[in-house]
């Protein structure tokens, strides 16, 4: 029996941080044996917003290619395995663009206008004149998923509306043309609680907020980030009793020192542990956990050609599947066949 398919993508925003790793990538890595996986870096999607302030967008394309490479390196360093999964760049599969065009004919404008992420993006990036591509963001995402006939999409809660629209579009297409061509796609919500930012347990770690720890940092830089973490403001001296629940350092001990949290909490509350030592202990554990990833990252970084080759192999595998889907789509819609046999 053939495996069910998993598809997911990330925008090439630059360095991956602990939020991406713990909230998404670790989960992708664990899905690789059970499913036929397609993981892609969505360079086209990164052009839906204008960019600026160091972020890629249609007005700021300088670092796009470098970001794609860096993301591929992070993914593989974290354990995505090109032998088991297809790892590639979205725009290397032009069939995605063709399917996006076809889907754009059957996507009701109302669905796009009602999409909550569209409104959020327009306001959070303060976009004065949203583009046609931004409005169509979920249609492109649906093409990303359905071109490989993805059954499951591992994403965070923020992406749920997009995956639901993908499913609605698949059903609409199947109904319009009387054929079960596309699967009923489902989100696989990542269960990991939100990873907090350096500044507060109530804020999400994110690159745009600048409260993140990138995988690419050195061990010293990581220790410095940990020194800057928000701790209990009323614990001033080492022997003052502390309140671990609002403390970012404690939140990360719950991830990196799971077995010690009982002791850490008790010592903090009793005033038997100071923040300086507590941070030093966290830096050691976090750096130990990240060491193999960083090591692998260095190896891959030293050979970018090899990484581009891997991405090219991934795209070639993905295109085989995608061109089969497109052939069926064209046939189903009575588009005249291409006699040249090129896809």
Q: Which stretch binds ligand AMP (CB under 6 A): 10-18, 47-55, 293-301, 335-343?
A: 10-18
Summarize as ranges the residues that interact with ligand TRP (CB under 6 A): 7-11, 42, 45, 141, 144-145, 153, 155, 159, 162
- Dihedral (CA of 175, 181, 187, 188) sign: positive
Q: What is the dihedral of CA 74, 80, 81, 82, to 10 degrees?
A: -70
Rounded Cα gap, residues 135 and 129, in angstroms: 11
Question: Which residue sits closest to ligand AMP, CB atoms considered?
Answer: 23
Q: Does residue 155 touch ligand AMP according to CB under 6 A?
A: yes
Tokens of 337: 């066949």
Q: Are 211 and 203 in contact (CB under 8 A)?
A: yes
Q: Does residue 104 touch ligand AMP according to CB under 6 A?
A: no
Q: Does residue 78 touch ligand AMP according to CB under 6 A?
A: no
Cβ nearer to ligand AMP, comparing 6 with 10: 10
Looking at residue 162, the DSSP 8-state letter turns out to be H
Beta bridge partners of 154: 188
Rounded Cα gap, residues 189 and 158, in angstroms: 10
Neighbours of 295 (CB within 10 A): 11
- The secondary element (H helix, E strand) that includes residue 114 is helix 109-114
Q: Does residue 205 touch ligand AMP according to CB under 6 A?
A: yes
Q: What is the DSSP string of 4-49?
A: PEEEEEE---SS-BHHHIIIIIHHHHHHTTTSEEEEEE-TTGGGSS
Tokens of 15: 């360095």
Q: Does residue 19 touch ligand AMP according to CB under 6 A?
A: yes
Q: Does residue 203 touch ligand AMP according to CB under 6 A?
A: no
Q: Which stretch binds ligand AMP (CB under 6 A): 12-20, 29-37, 109-117, 272-280?
A: 12-20
Q: How far is the CB of 286 from ligand AMP (least distance, A)?
A: 15
Q: How far is the CB of 153 from ligand TRP (least distance, A)?
A: 5
Tokens of 327: 């052939």
Q: Which stretch binds ligand AMP (CB under 6 A): 13-21, 36-44, 76-84, 321-329?
A: 13-21
Cβ nearer to ligand TRP, comparing 39 with 250: 39
Cβ nearer to ligand TRP, comparing 162 with 273: 162
Q: How far is the CB of 49 from ligand TRP (least distance, A)?
A: 11
> What residue 42 binds from ligand TRP, ligand AMP, none (CB within 5 to 8 A, per partner kind)?
ligand TRP
Q: Does residue 206 touch ligand AMP according to CB under 6 A?
A: yes
Q: Does residue 23 touch ligand AMP according to CB under 6 A?
A: yes
Q: Is 326 strand, coil or helix?
A: helix
Cβ nearer to ligand AMP, comparing 55 with 318: 55
- The secondary element (H helix, E strand) that includes residue 133 is helix 132-135
Residues that bind ligand AMP (CB under 6 A): 10-11, 13, 19-20, 23-24, 155-156, 194-195, 204-206
């Amino acid at each position: 029996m053939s495996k069910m398919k998993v598809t997911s993508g990330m925008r090439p925003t630059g360095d991956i941080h602990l939020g991406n790793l713990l909230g998404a990538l670790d989960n992708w890595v664990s899905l690789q044996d059970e499913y036929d996986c397609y993981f892609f870096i969505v360079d086209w999607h990164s052009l839906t917003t204008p960019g600026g302030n160091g972020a890629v967008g249609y007005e700021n394309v300088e670092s796009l290619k470098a970001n794609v490479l860096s993301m591929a390196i992070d993914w593989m360093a974290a354990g995505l395995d090109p032998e088991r999964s297809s790892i590639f760049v979205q725009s290397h599969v032009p069939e995605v663009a063709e399917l996006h065009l076809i889907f754009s004919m059957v996507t009701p404008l109302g669905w796009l206008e009602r999409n909550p992420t569209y409104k959020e993006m327009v306001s959070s990036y303060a976009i004065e004149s949203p583009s046609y591509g931004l409005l169509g963001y979920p249609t492109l995402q649906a093409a990303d998923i359905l071109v490989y006939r993805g059954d499951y999409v591992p994403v965070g809660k923020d992406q749920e509306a997009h995956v639901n629209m993908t499913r609605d579009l698949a059903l609409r297409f199947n109904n319009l043309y009387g054929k079960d061509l596309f699967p009923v796609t489902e989100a696989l919500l990542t269960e990991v609680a939100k990873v907090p930012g350096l500044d507060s347990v109530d804020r999400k770690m994110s690159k745009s907020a600048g409260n993140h720890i990138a995988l690419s940092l050195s061990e010293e830089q990581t220790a410095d980030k940990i020194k800057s973490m928000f701790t209990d403001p009323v614990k001033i001296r080492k022997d003052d009793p502390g309140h671990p629940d609002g403390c970012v350092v404690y939140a990360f001990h719950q991830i990196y020192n799971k077995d010690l949290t009982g002791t850490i909490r008790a010592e903090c509350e009793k005033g038997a542990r100071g923040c300086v030592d507590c941070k030093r202990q966290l830096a050691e554990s976090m750096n130990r956990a990240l060491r193999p990833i960083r090591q692998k990252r260095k190896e891959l970084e030293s050979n970018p050609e090899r990484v581009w080759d891997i991405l090219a192999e991934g795209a070639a595998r993905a295109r085989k599947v995608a061109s089969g889907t497109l052939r069926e789509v064209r046939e189903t819609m009575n588009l005249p066949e291409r006699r040249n046999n090129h896809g």
